[in-house]
Amino acid sequence: MSQYLILIYEDESGYANASQDVWKEILEGHNAFGEKNADAIAGGNALQPTSTATTLRSDGAGGFSVTDGPFVETKEALGGYYLIEAADLDEAISIAKQVPARFGGLEVRPIMVFS
Amino acid sequence: MRATLDSNEAAAAVADAHRREWGFVLSSTVRVTRDLDIAEECVQDAYAQALTTWRERGVPAKPGAWLTTVARRRALDLLRRDSVLRRALPLLIEDEAEPEVQPGDDFPDERLRLICTCCHPALGQEAQIALTLRLLCGLSTAEVARAFLVSEPTMAARLTRAKKKIATARIPYRVPSAAELPERLDAVLGVVHLLFTTGHTAPAGTDLVRLDLVERSLDLARMLYALVPESSDVAGLLALILVTDARRATRVSDSGQLLRLADQDRSQWDASAITEGTALVRRALRTRPPGRYALQAAIAAVHAEAPTWDATDWDEIVALYDVLTMIWPSPVVALNRAAAVGFARGPAAGIAELDALGDEPQLAGYGYLPAARAEFLHRLGRVDEARLAYQEALLLTENEVERQFLADRLAALEL
């Protein structure tokens, strides 16, 4: 088995403008995903929107500049993740396909193993 | 087995086995090594050994099985000797824990595993094509680089990156499940089709046809048809390649000029390829709804079966394009359909259809659109507009043979 991180990238305005019903649907979707894949899921979280993000950039001289906002400004921002266990990429993809992400999509990345 | 060969005969036999058996031998050796690079090395060694052994003892009855036995034995030796190497490798993922090592020379055909891994959707299409040429067809990195018109180091880096992704992201070495197979096969067929179209009319350069690519695509389509004969998409693609490539000898004149379908010597078309292809088309069209390759092959077959250009059944071709547009709504298909309408119902109707595609962003920069308009405008005697359209087409065309054709058509306007 291997671990993969499923990164959820979506347009934040989708959530900002979503009705209560849509929110409910999405939360139920995540609950259903969690129950169905309980054995595979090793962790996961939703993130607050990028307006709450703080970015630290190395100044190359041992210090950091601290600024407001996400590290990269993109239309679709990282909004949450699941850490999962899967036998191979095909299995990881089939799990990722079940993650609710109607305002964007998902990225699947293998976790690096240090031996 | 036949007794000793001279070195030319042995080299020819090995070259032939390279062309026919590389994918079979490699795919089977990967089952032992579970590492693509080591498998490639072992297969390379097996071919090198064949060169001497076959000269001394003749060509074995089953060259593929002989090569597989040698390559797998070499792989087992290598891995046994170097267990450290074994442990350090991120092994390819398979469904069985241990590959079966059978006595004798009856190896199962593992090429479907290999091509599904090479054409996994998690790899970019350029990488898919490069891996397929390298691993299934056995092209050297230099040859693959030439096929893509890129430098050898660039191609070597691309292949390394792709193999690294297969290992670290754990793309499995496995035939997809029955549920997944159609979608995965679609990606495989896309690679083979792209290989064929790139070879059939090279996007740039001095030759119209890149024969090496066309022949590899035909080999791959035949291989897939042998592996998955029940798929009508596979049958359709094989038919499309056969029937289209049957015209190869007549597409360029002796002096290197492009000959249109109307001007080709139909008696020189490859009749056996057309017969084989049309039989496959009929089979493939029985599936409902018919697939895109089957429909494209059917269109090519209507041309192939017309004894002369004037006898072409354009209504049938338009009808086939109508169905194709429904299942495969691509701008290029719409363009071909518009041209067919022009031949079926007259140049004015053709221009009306072509003009309706003028706003299609995917066709902006596509030289065949102004070239088709120019032809119909020319037929209608609208010379000034035809001149502009030919000039536009010339600006958008990079294949030298096609450019010369357009320049000649432009010159003919002034006569």
Query: Which sequence spans correspond to the domains of chain A?
Result: 2-110
Min Cα–Cα distance to chain A from B126, Å: 20
**For residue A44, which phi and psi values (nearest 5 degrees)?**
165, 155
> Encoding tokens for residue A114?
């240090």
Set of chain A residues whose Cβ sits within 8 Å of the Cβ of B97 = none
Best of A2, A4, A85, A89 to disrupt the B interface (most B CBs within 10 Å) is A89
Residues from chain B that touch A93, judged by Cβ atoms under 8 A, are: 122
Interface contact B113, partner A, CB < 8 A: no
What is the pLDDT at residue A1? 87
What's the CA dihedral at A87, A89, A95, A97 to 10 degrees? -170
When CB atoms are compared, the residue of B170, B174, B180 closest to A110 is: B170
**Above 60 in pLDDT, residue B103?**
no
Interface test with A, best of B166, B170, B171 (most A CBs within 10 A): B170
Average pLDDT over residues A7-30: 96
Tell me where in chain B the CATH 1.10.1740.10 domain(s) lie. Answer: 7-89
- Does residue B16 carry a pLDDT above 80? yes
Helical axes B292-305 vs B271-285, angle rounded to 10°: 140
What ipTM, to 2 d.p.? Answer: 0.84
Which residues are CB-neighbours of B352 under 8 A, at least 6 positions away? Answer: none
Helices B211-227 and B111-118 cross at an angle (nearest 10°) of 120
% of chain B with per-residue pLDDT over 70? 94
Residue of chain A whose alpha carbon sits nearest to that of B117: A90
User: Contacts of residue B176 in chain A, CB cutoff 8 Å?
Assistant: 90
CATH class of segment(s) A2-110: alpha beta
The pLDDT value given to residue B301: 96
Q: What is the band of B150 on the pLDDT scale with cuts at 50, 70, 90?
A: confident
> Which residue is listed with tokens 């059978």?
B102
**B284 and B228 Cβ atoms separated by less than 8 Å:** no
Scanning every residue of chain A, which has its alpha carbon at the shortest distance from the alpha carbon of B89?
A115
Residue A90 touches partner B, C-beta closer than 8 Å? yes
Choose among A88, A108, A110: nearest Cβ to B172. A88
Asked if residue B289 has a cis previous peptide bond (ω within 30° of 0), the answer is yes
Q: Which of B170, B174, B176 sits opposite A2 (nearest CB)?
A: B170
pLDDT, tens digit (0-9, with 9 covering 90-100), for B259-280: 889 999 999 999 999 999 999 9
- Radius of gyration of the CA atoms of chain A, in A: 16
3-state secondary structure of B291: coil
* Delimiting residues of CATH 1.25.40.10 domain(s) in chain B: 330-415
Q: Give the length of chain B.
A: 415
Instruction: Output the pLDDT for position B101.
Output: 54
Across B5-9, B100-104, B263-267, B285-289, least confident range: B100-104
Tell me what pLDDT residue B96 has. 59
Q: How far apart are CA B149 and CA B295, in angstroms?
A: 31
B93 contacts on A by Cβ (under 8 Å): 87-88
Distance from the Cα of B262 to chain A's closest Cα (Å) equals 49
Nearest CA in chain B to A113: B168
Please write the tens of the pLDDT for every residue from B362-387.
Answer: 888 888 999 999 999 999 999 999 99
> For position B71, what pLDDT does the model report?
97
pTM for the model: 0.85
User: Chain A within 8 Å of B73 (Cβ-Cβ)?
Assistant: no
Residue of chain A whose alpha carbon sits nearest to that of B174: A90
Name the residue with higher pLDDT: B60 or B255: B60
Q: What is the pLDDT of residue B52?
A: 94
Are B176 and A110 inside 8 Å of each other by CB? Answer: no
How far is the C-alpha of B366 from the C-alpha of B106, rounded, in Å?
50
Does A5 touch chain B if contact means CB atoms closer than 8 Å? no
Owner of token pair 């060969």: B5
Contact assessment for residue B232 and residue B287, using Cβ atoms and an 8 Å cutoff: yes
In this prediction, residue B212 carries a pLDDT of 84
In the structure, what pLDDT confidence band is assigned to residue B399 with cuts at 50, 70 and 90?
A: confident
Q: B58 in helix, strand or coil?
A: coil
Task: Over range B176-190, report the average pLDDT.
Answer: 92
pLDDT at B97 over 70: no
Interface of A with B in 92-111 (CB under 8 A): 92-93, 108, 110
Residue of B nearest to A88 (CA): B170
* Residue A41 distance to chain B (closest CA, Å): 18
CA distance B136 to A94: 27
Q: Do A110 and B174 touch (CB under 8 A)?
A: no
CB contacts, 8 Å: A89 with chain B: 120, 122, 169-172
In this predicted structure, what is the pLDDT of residue B94?
73
Average pLDDT for residues B53-70, to the nearest whole number?
94
DSSP A19-87: -HHHHHHHHHHHHHHHHHTTTTEEEEEE---GGG-EEEEE-SSS-EEEEES-SS--SEEEEEEEEEEES
Residues composing chain A: 115
Which of B169, B174, B176 faces A110 most closely, judged by CB atoms?
B169
Name which CATH class applies to B330-415: mainly alpha
CB–CB of B170 and A88 under 8 A?
yes
Q: Which residues of chain B make contact with A88, given a CB cutoff of 8 A?
A: 93, 170-172, 174
CATH code at B7-89: 1.10.1740.10
Token pair of B120, please?
């996994």
Mean pLDDT (chain B) is 90
Tell me the mean pLDDT in the region B104-130: 90
Confidence label for B199 from pLDDT (cuts 50, 70 and 90): confident
* A21 CA: distance to closest CA in chain B (Å): 33
